[in-house]
Structure 1
Amino acid sequence: MLRRSHKKFRGGCLECKRRHVKCDGRRPVCLLCTMSERDCSYPSQAPPEKLSPSDSSSQEQSISPGDNHSQGLDEAINLNHMELLVHVASDKSMFNLGHSPNDYPSDLFIALKKGLKAPYLMYMLLAFSARHLAFLHPQQSAFYLHQAMTLQTRAVSLFNAAWTGVDQSNCVAVLGFSSILGHHLLADTLAKRDPGGLEGFISHYTQCVEMHRGIHTIATNAWPLLMATELQPILSLSADFTSRAPRGNHCQRIRELVDTANGLGEEDKEACRLAIQYLQVGFDAVLAEEEQSNRYQMIFSWTMLVPPEFTRLLAAKRPEVLVLLAYYSLLLHYGRNLWQVGDAGAYILGIIVDYLGPEWDHWLEYPRERITRKPL
């Protein structure tokens, strides 16, 4: 699996430090605080060094997998960007965690049209395209991952500079940018194989959940505006899916564990029950033969829908919540053929089993048996 190396960053804002989440250090308002509409401030110190467009373009020119990528990324006619744009337009599997791929051409047209007026959306599309190409061409992954990182950084910078709130003129572009960034972050998170084991993964995943919750906040606050746009059919389908009543009993054992947990308060139990409800909707979809348009949507949506109390319990590594996460790893396993997922389900289950030890084997039996089962 692909992963990106990173350095320890100590220039985060006060709000992110208080919430113990990783900050991107953007000033005057970091991305997490922008997305969640929190007050953002920094201690009185020199701002961290940032990658300027000229710096990033010079780095991009120095990394090339072949002669066809030798041109710099800031030229008037940019063949690197054109390659990414062509890939966006031609490969429907990039966004296969969403709704029906049959709607892909119209969705893409909306995004490209809005991206011409909102460059942060266009850069985010290109960044995600580069991320997908890094998966498709492992021999050139260093080049494409560098492109993805640089374009995503520029997209976030442009978004922060343009941010004045959501209104009718920008709601589609803001939601598109936020959603694609969420897909990008989830793909990166599921690809990580840090030596920190569970500790490292929980740190990355809770940050991913925080960002996804910001996406959900934007969509919820702007819902009346968005329903008056061309996104109305897409958003209605998505809302109908996530509001379904669960049908199956695949989560029965984890429900029993949560209901009988002495160490969880009632508010914590309700948060876990809501997370379980969404998981069951996800299992209903992936295991239904007639399901097509939303089969894997909950793999993405679950990180956006789980309540803040659940994230807090996950960051504290409460055993019951780690067992619940193991059930999410089973949902991932059912989507293992998707490029964003791969063996992430088996990997996450493995680090949870190692962390909890044999005394939790009874509660982990259901996801463990199905993930380790040999395919027919």
Structure 2
Amino acid sequence: MLRRSHKKSRGGCVECKRRHVKCDENRPICRLCVLSDRDCSFASQDQQQQHDPSSRERSIESDRRHGETVLDLRNITPLTPVSIVDSPGNLPAQHPHDASLDDAINFDHMELLIHAIQDREMFEIGTGVGEYHASGIALGLKEALAAPYLMHELLAFSAQHMAFLHPERSAHYLHQAVSLQTRAISLFNTTWTEVNKSNCVAILLFSSILGHHLLADTLRKRDPGGLDAFIAHYVQCVEMHRGIYTIAKSAWPLLMQSELEPILTQSTAFTSRQPKGNDCEPIKKLINNSTALSQVEKDACHHTIQYLQVGIDAVAAKQEIFVNRHQMIYSLTMLVPPEMAALLAKKQPEALVLLAYYAILLHHGRELWQSGDAGLYVFGLINGYLGEEWDEWMQYPREKIVGDMAME
């Protein structure tokens, strides 16, 4: 029998040549490797190119020279399976490459996709979950067809939520979350160079889901490193979220012409509110009277306090049924100034007291899967670190968290 003739792919990728299939030679990742979720590389790639900075790295360095904040995922630490599992003994000692991830159609992935479509609780600290969940997921799936990094991160976050819902299978789902998130970041770093009209929606959705993922992981960690470990994770989360905020600002005109416009408008309306309550008056007084903070640092603290009060106002306004009362748990990490993150990183006492006020928001959201007992946990870490001389300033969050728990 005569074999059908075909044009050989001389410049195909290593994986397609190994499998003896025709490669479309699309770089940096060919379509077959995208569809089958395989690592794609080209042996014919110029060696000099491998040693020179990539276009993405050159773009990042250029942006930094011009004072721009960029979304740089090269140093993001992938999730570790101990994030949610209470007993490390439930985990396998190693996590070898999961062969099932190489399948073009994977029923484990289908389970995660169906869960993401049906379960609104995954994004319950996001904007307009009740109103926009169905349309948001539909938009995300449409964008993910052209941006595999978005699909991988959506599935990774779904796996993390499944690990919470099914603790008896948490090791299985957390392994999926780690593998899928690692692949998502790798694909993103390989394919993205700049934000434009064609990719701004996919990049913002990817960044937002990754931000939700990292925040949920941070809040559920119970690291033996105590406060130092929590601060390190939380500051990384803040820096990642500021990258999301920078993307949104730089691409705002394009995004407001996209299908994300209703969600972005609602989110902006919430974060632009003027604070009403006086819950944060004690911390304002502490910042104003501090001799350890510069004026720039005081301004950053007051900027953060304003958002904190808006968040506390929201959880108290139970009659506003169309407002996501817990959105500020997520939004605050995106809105705090870089000076505030620097104060947290060096464990400045005034910044830690301010973080204890953030723990009030976490405590109000203790029924959420992302928060759980994080409010009490974070308050305990800070209270144990600060000396007795800070008791006066810790009194209000103590009443709202510890006192509230005693009354239940």
TM interval, shorter chain, is 0.7 to 0.9
Contact 1:128 1:180 in 2 (8 A): yes
* CA pair 365-39 structure 1, distance change in 2 beyond 3 A: closer
Q: How does 1:178-327 map to 2 (within 5 A)?
A: 178-292=207-321, 293-327=323-357
Unaligned 5+ runs, structure 2? 1-53, 76-93
The alignment partner of 1:143 has SS state of helix
Q: How many residues align?
A: 327
**2:117 is the counterpart of 1:89:** yes
* CA pair 263-81 structure 1, distance change in 2 beyond 3 A: same
Q: How does 1:35-114 map to 2 (within 5 A)?
A: 36-37=69-70, 59-61=97-99, 72-100=100-128, 101-114=130-143
Contact 1:127 1:147 in 2 (8 A): yes
- Alignment partners' CA distance in 1, 2:315 and 2:179: 34
- Alignment partners' CA distance in 1, 2:342 and 2:288: 18
Task: State the Cα distance separating 1:195 from its structure 2 match.
Answer: 1.4
Q: Determine which of 351, 354, 373 is the counterpart of 1:343.
A: 373
Contact 1:28 1:40 in 2 (8 A): no
- Alignment partners' CA distance in 1, 2:361 and 2:140: 29
Task: State the Cα distance separating 1:57 from its structure 2 match.
Answer: 10
- For residue 140 of structure 1, what is the aligned residue in structure 2? 169
CA deviation vs aligned residue, 1:203-239 (integer Å, no higher than 9, x gap): 1111111101111011111101100101111101001
- For residue 165 of structure 1, what is the aligned residue in structure 2? 194
2:276 partner letter: R
- Alignment partners' CA distance in 1, 2:223 and 2:117: 33
- Alignment partners' CA distance in 2, 1:187 and 1:137: 16
- Alignment partners' CA distance in 1, 2:196 and 2:172: 37
* CA pair 200-41 structure 1, distance change in 2 beyond 3 A: closer
Amino-acid identity (%): 58
Task: State the Cα distance separating 1:301 from its structure 2 match.
Answer: 0.4
- Alignment partners' CA distance in 2, 1:27 and 1:344: 40
CA radius of gyration, larger in? 2
- Alignment partners' CA distance in 1, 2:319 and 2:132: 18
Contact 2:117 2:137 in 1 (8 A): yes
Task: State the Cα distance separating 1:98 from its structure 2 match.
Answer: 1.1
- For residue 391 of structure 2, what is the aligned residue in structure 1? 361
* CA pair 272-74 structure 1, distance change in 2 beyond 3 A: same
Moved over 4 A (4+): 26-30, 32-35, 38-42
* CA pair 27-369 structure 1, distance change in 2 beyond 3 A: farther
Task: State the Cα distance separating 1:29 from its structure 2 match.
Answer: 4.5
Contact 1:29 1:160 in 2 (8 A): no
Task: State the Cα distance separating 1:334 from its structure 2 match.
Answer: 0.3
* CA pair 39-237 structure 1, distance change in 2 beyond 3 A: closer
* CA pair 207-27 structure 1, distance change in 2 beyond 3 A: farther
The alignment partner of 2:102 has SS state of coil
Task: State the Cα distance separating 1:60 from its structure 2 match.
Answer: 2.5
Contact 1:126 1:148 in 2 (8 A): yes
1:210 partner letter: E
- Alignment partners' CA distance in 1, 2:374 and 2:95: 33
- Alignment partners' CA distance in 2, 1:27 and 1:357: 49
The alignment partner of 1:338 has SS state of coil
Task: State the Cα distance separating 1:41 from its structure 2 match.
Answer: 10
Q: Determine which of 325, 332, 335 is the counterpart of 2:362.
A: 332
- Alignment partners' CA distance in 2, 1:102 and 1:38: 29
Q: TM-score normalized by structure 1?
A: 0.83
Task: State the Cα distance separating 1:359 from its structure 2 match.
Answer: 1.4
The alignment partner of 1:98 has SS state of coil
Contact 2:73 2:185 in 1 (8 A): no
**2:170 is the counterpart of 1:154:** no
2:115 partner letter: H
Task: State the Cα distance separating 1:74 from its structure 2 match.
Answer: 2.0
CA deviation vs aligned residue, 1:250-277 (integer Å, no higher than 9, x gap): 1110001001111111111000000000
1:262 partner letter: T
- For residue 46 of structure 1, what is the aligned residue in structure 2? none
The alignment partner of 1:117 has SS state of coil
CA deviation vs aligned residue, 1:286-333 (integer Å, no higher than 9, x gap): 111123332111000000100001111111111111000000011110
